[in-house]
Amino acid sequence: MDISCPSCAEPWDTDYLCHDAIYDTDLYNTAEALCDAFHGKLDDTYRFALEQAGWKFAGTHMHMFVRCPCCKEKALHPSSSLRIETRQLLADLMGDDIDGFVSFSEDLDTMQNARISRFSAVKAVA
């Protein structure tokens, strides 16, 4: 299952986020055992290493990100501020329920994209 970045809409595989993203940080070079123990739960060490790699988080788990490393290379999504606020509220609401968080995030992205498309079509007609 993929979860998209609320800032740039880049899709990220949930397994990559939970198991492999930590290996793309400087932490891998200094503390490989810490990387092997990473399962998506953020403590200060993991959060710092991942934020240095370009991630920004709204919650206590890797899936609860609001910016990704691709954000600096891509244009921001038209409704990125609304998507970020929604993601932050959802992270607070869902707590450690990662499956629920990912599922709701996907549903919200679908609804928000449909809403943007509908308003764009109306604006083009007017």
Task: Say what the pLDDT of residue 69 is.
Answer: 93
Mean pLDDT split into 10-residue runs, the chain, 126 residues:
86 87 81 72 87 88 88 76 84 83 84 65 54
Residue 117's pLDDT is: 59
Decide if 111 contacts 83 (C-beta within 8 A).
no
Indicate the helix (H) or strand (E) that contains 13.
strand 11-13
Phi, psi at residue 38, to the nearest 5°? -75, 130
pLDDT at 126 (0 to 100): 54
pLDDT of residue 68: 93
Listed by start position, the domains of the chain span: 2-125
CA–CA gap between residue 35 and residue 80 (Å, rounded) = 30
pLDDT confidence of residue 54: 92
pLDDT of residue 51: 92
